[in-house]
Amino acid sequence: MPKIQLILLFVLAISGCSQMFDKHVEWEAVPPDHYPVLHAVGYAPISSQSGLDENTRMLQAMRASKMDAYRELAEQIYGQQVTAGSAMGGTTLDQDRLQVAVSGVVRGARVVRTYPLGDIYATELELDMADVQRMYQSLNPPRRIHDVQYY
């Protein structure tokens, strides 16, 4: 009797392995419902820029305002990392610290307008998320299961 049970157990174990199927999965892209357009404005003081003449300071302010606008776009996309701390000595506040950082890559933004406002230079940027989605899809298309075939 134990020999028959052992054979039955062996046959059952082998037949359990035959239930594993190979499969083929087809994926299809899923577009979002709508694409937002992000706007950012960067500012830079002209007279504070380094340079020997007014034209050089203006060009430096143009570049600085553009970088400030890109920083604002990165904040909208990735958010800000905020680190804060306070230290007390006895019952008085000795040190109060706040640090903010943003990090990320911004692709596809375009300059809408760039202009001086008195002693300040401003740059307006626009980022159409539909363009960002197309760039992203060319590298990593979003997928969902379209069909599964078992063999």
- Confidence (pTM): 0.67
From first to last of the 151 residues of the chain, give the pLDDT tens digit. 577 777 777 766 666 555 556 777 777 767 778 999 999 999 999 999 998 999 999 999 999 999 999 999 999 999 999 999 988 888 888 888 999 999 999 999 999 999 999 999 999 999 999 998 888 878 876 677 777 777 7
Q: Does residue 85 form part of some domain?
A: no
Distance from C-alpha of 85 to C-alpha of 144, rounded to nearest angstrom: 44
Number of domains in the chain: 1
Distance from C-alpha of 137 to C-alpha of 141, rounded to nearest angstrom: 4
Q: Does residue 91 form part of some domain?
A: no
Q: Does residue 122 form part of some domain?
A: yes
Q: Does residue 65 form part of some domain?
A: yes
Residue ranges making up the domain that contains 45: 24-74+105-150
Beta strands in the chain (DSSP E): 23-28, 37-45, 81-89, 92-101, 110-117, 120-128, 144-150
